[in-house]
Amino acid sequence: MNAITEAGTLSGAPEPVESLPPARKRRRHWSFDRVSFFVVFLGLPLAVFVIFVLSPFIQAFYYSLTNWGGFSATFDFVGLRNYTRILTDDIFSKAMVNNIILAVMVPVVTILVAMVLATLITVGGSSFGQTRGLNHSGFYRVASFFPYCVPAVVIGLMWGQIFDPSHGAVNGILTRLGFSSANEFAWLGEKSTAMPISIFIMIWAYVGFYMLLFIAGIKSIPAEIFEAARIDGAGRFKTAVTITVPLIRDNIQTAWIYLGIASLDAFVYMSVLNPFGGPSNSTLVMSQQLYDAAFKKGQYGIACAMGVIIALMTMIFAGIVALVNRLTGGKDTVTMA
């Protein structure tokens, strides 16, 4: 046998390879470092989310099915009666429509204005030489972001004084320019102007922050791409539509969702500008109705039902934005050669 093996080796024939037993899967040992890592970076955030986000929402949904008064230990289960009462109420329906108007107008206008300002500050400078923004862009950046640093209550009070019918700056300027109809005109007291003025104030407060968000996104785009587009003869508008917007699509989607959430709330601005809902409830929002039901009428079960409706509308809005972004090509990865 040994002779045969040696002959085979000397003759240059390959030796038979013995089959090895299948390798066993290595078991991962749960060391203290591994367990502590999962506990700190996964378990702790999950516990915070469950305790402070998920649990209150479940609790609010449970109380929305009762006639709880907020302070009594006893209450009755009423099923969906609170939801039926809310959805058939004309005032709450009006507030819901106002919130939908805000959720459409505020994100659209804010994103458009912020995108224009961000483009001008980053790549809106001279068409000759290196791609750059406008001169003194740092000043414009700080000036535009300043309103976001001011609390919403202060913004509401400030603009309330500016649009005051008797001594407001707007009526004073328009009267001096010869518009006599602006004398003591109640901008926030007229049904036709109360909501547009409120939308303008919210846009003024939000646009600076989202301008900086878009500036950060545009800064991440290599300057060579803009220079190549300029060499190919693309104008500023075409460059913005075909290059800037697709490459910062994720930033735009984030801004759209956040602005929609803020618009579906809008409690602070509307409560300061028009505490009682404006003329003919033209500026009334759902969060104001929730506040009145809970803290003025003691109807906490109905207030919880309103909160559930607001939460569902917020999730539906976020889902619609994500779906639209996906259908318009947001799922595709933009590659830069």
> Cα–Cα distance between 134 and 256 in angstroms, integer?
26
pTM passes above 0.85: no
**Structural domains of the chain, count:** 1
pLDDT in tens, 209-240: 999 999 989 888 888 888 888 888 777 788 88
Which range marks the domain in which residue 281 is found? 81-330
> Cα–Cα distance between 145 and 333 in angstroms, integer?
31
Type and span of the H or E element at 199: helix 191-219
The domain spanning residue 108 has which CATH number?
Answer: 1.10.3720.10
> Cα–Cα distance between 200 and 198 in angstroms, integer?
5
The reply to whether 14 falls in a domain is no
> Cα–Cα distance between 266 and 99 in angstroms, integer?
8
The reply to whether 101 falls in a domain is yes
Query: What end-to-end distance do the CA atoms of the chain give, in Å?
Result: 64
The reply to whether 196 falls in a domain is yes
pLDDT in tens, 105-157: 999 999 999 999 998 888 765 655 556 666 767 777 788 888 888 899 999 99
Per-residue pLDDT of the chain (337 residues; tens, 9 = 90+): 454 444 454 455 555 555 555 555 556 667 777 778 888 888 888 899 999 989 999 999 999 999 998 888 888 999 999 999 999 999 999 999 999 999 999 999 999 999 999 988 887 656 555 566 667 677 777 888 888 888 999 999 999 999 999 888 999 999 999 888 888 899 999 999 999 999 999 999 999 999 999 998 988 888 888 888 888 877 778 888 888 888 999 999 999 999 999 999 999 999 999 998 999 999 999 999 999 999 999 999 999 999 999 999 999 999 999 898 888 876 555 544 4
The reply to whether 24 falls in a domain is no
The reply to whether 5 falls in a domain is no
The reply to whether 170 falls in a domain is yes
- Following DSSP, what letter does each residue of 146-187 receive, concatenated? HHHHS-HHHHHHHHHHHT-TTT-HHHHHHHHTT-GGGTT--T
The reply to whether 1 falls in a domain is no
Give 148's strand partners: none
The reply to whether 267 falls in a domain is yes
